[in-house]
Amino acid sequence: MKSRIRPLAWSAAALILLLMTAVPALNVPAVFLLAVPFTVLCVTLKPMLFAAHAAVILFLASLLVGPAILLVGLFFLIPAVAMGYFYRRRAPARTVMTAGGAAMLALFLLELLFLSTFLDVNLTEVLAEVIRGNAERLEAQGMLAPGWDDEMTEALTASVIQSLPRMLILAAFTFAVVTHWLSRRALARAGLDVPAFRRAREWMLPRALVYVYLAVLVLYMIQLTAGSPADRSYFAMIIVNLYHLIWFAFACQTIGFFFYLAHQKGWHRIVPLLLSVPVLLFQPLSLIGVFDTAFPLRKSIGKS
């Protein structure tokens, strides 16, 4: 009986979360949780039965909210299927998260292409208008900082537009992490053994990424000396986004190094967590991750 009730409960959860995406106050948590029940259903049910559950969920949601909700449902169903497929194949957690994040990122790009091609909506122009409109409204209310002018508003606009690819990638990464973390626990409670992500102290980036980092750093410094990093050229956008993404990767490597150090020294688990906060706030601390990747720092600590 429980084996029959559980899929129905997860289907009900998926339907409720899908409906919550249409409620302004509840859509943010729903967006991060929606793929979890779909992923669990994909792993625990046979493909045809899972397709039937998903079809019923989407059909009921379209009846209650409207056909537009179908696009939202499919947007989260596809990454869930990608992650569920690799869960069923008992792939490593990194492969599962990569599949989910890549699927989400591809859907982001397809959505932008659809908006631009069929609806003639340019997201960068919309963002620019929103920023300029907010700046004008704050200026009218006297809430802007002294000395703020139109040139600074345009620089902020260019910087936000330029960081859009980075934000999309980080959003897809966050989605994959949250979905994997929750889905794995749900599947474990159902009695299914799902590979876990490596412990933080075991994180290690490939050494080749150090050379990529150095090349991108040189190009980034050239870009800074040649002009503002908020330049609108595609080359500048690629370099700036690559720089920040690689910085984030080495920041994670630094955090992993702190967890390894705490494990070797027998420190309390709260210590590496506290050390992780400044790593994400101050970019120079990510150099610890660079050195940890390039040189055998952990071996020397282990020997000592």
Of the given ranges (71-80, 192-201, 275-284), which has the lowest mean pLDDT? 192-201
Q: Is the domain of 208 the same as that of 171?
A: no
What are the distances in angstroms from CA 170 to CA 80, 108, 177, 243, 246? 18, 12, 10, 13, 12
Contact 83, 100 (CB under 8 A): yes
Q: Hey, what are 115's tokens?
A: 């908006």
Contact 14, 34 (CB under 8 A): yes
- CA separation for the pair 199, 201 (Å, rounded): 5
- Considering the domain boundaries, does residue 244 fall inside one? yes
Measured at the CA of 201, the angle between CA 195 and CA 207, to 5 degrees, comes to: 95
- Considering the domain boundaries, does residue 271 fall inside one? yes
Q: Which domain holds residue 299?
A: 200-303
pLDDT of 89 > 60? The answer is yes
Q: Is the domain of 210 the same as that of 111?
A: no
User: In the structure, what pLDDT confidence band is assigned to residue 195 with cuts at 50, 70 and 90?
Assistant: confident
- CA separation for the pair 116, 126 (Å, rounded): 11
Report the interhelical angle of 150-162 vs 234-265 (nearest 10°): 70
pLDDT of 206 > 80? The answer is yes
Q: Is the domain of 62 the same as that of 173?
A: yes
Amino acid making up residue 186: A
Q: Is the domain of 184 the same as that of 278?
A: no
Q: Is the domain of 174 the same as that of 50?
A: yes
pLDDT of 196 > 90? The answer is no
Report the interhelical angle of 123-140 vs 164-189 (nearest 10°): 100
- Considering the domain boundaries, does residue 274 fall inside one? yes
- CA separation for the pair 238, 250 (Å, rounded): 18
3 state DSSP class of 68: coil
pLDDT given for residue 41 in this prediction: 95
Report the interhelical angle of 234-265 vs 164-189 (nearest 10°): 40
What are the distances in angstroms from CA 216 to CA 57, 141, 211, 213? 46, 42, 9, 5
User: In the structure, what pLDDT confidence band is assigned to residue 304 with cuts at 50, 70 and 90?
Assistant: low
Residue 217: which residues within 8 A CB-CB, separation 6 or more?
Answer: 243
- Considering the domain boundaries, does residue 58 fall inside one? yes
Domain boundary among 155, 189, 223: 189
Domain count, the chain: 2
Residues 7-22: tens digit of each pLDDT? 899 999 999 999 999 9
* Averaged pLDDT score across all residues of the chain: 86
Amino acid making up residue 179: T
pLDDT given for residue 127 in this prediction: 83
pLDDT above 90 covers a percentage of the chain that reads 37
- Considering the domain boundaries, does residue 299 fall inside one? yes
Q: Which residues of 97-126 are buried (b: 16+ CB within 10 A; e: fewer)?
A: bbbbbebbbebbeeebeeeeeeeeeeebee
Over residues 252-259, the mean pLDDT reads: 92
Q: Is the domain of 8 the same as that of 109?
A: yes
Q: Is the domain of 176 the same as that of 266?
A: no
Q: Is the domain of 68 the same as that of 206?
A: no
Contact 254, 286 (CB under 8 A): yes
Over residues 237-257, the mean pLDDT reads: 86
Identify the DSSP state of 148. Answer: -
- CA separation for the pair 82, 93 (Å, rounded): 13
Q: Is the domain of 91 the same as that of 181?
A: yes
Contact 177, 252 (CB under 8 A): no
Contact 43, 81 (CB under 8 A): no
Q: Is the domain of 96 the same as that of 218?
A: no
Q: Is the domain of 84 the same as that of 208?
A: no
- Considering the domain boundaries, does residue 70 fall inside one? yes
CB burial of residue 60 (10 Å; 0-12, 13-18, 19+): middle
- Considering the domain boundaries, does residue 148 fall inside one? no
Over residues 172-181, the mean pLDDT reads: 91
* Cβ-defined contacts of 271-276 (< 8 Å, 24+): 272/200
Element (DSSP H or E) covering residue 41: helix 35-44
pLDDT of 197 > 90? The answer is no
Q: Is the domain of 64 the same as that of 185?
A: yes
- Considering the domain boundaries, does residue 124 fall inside one? no
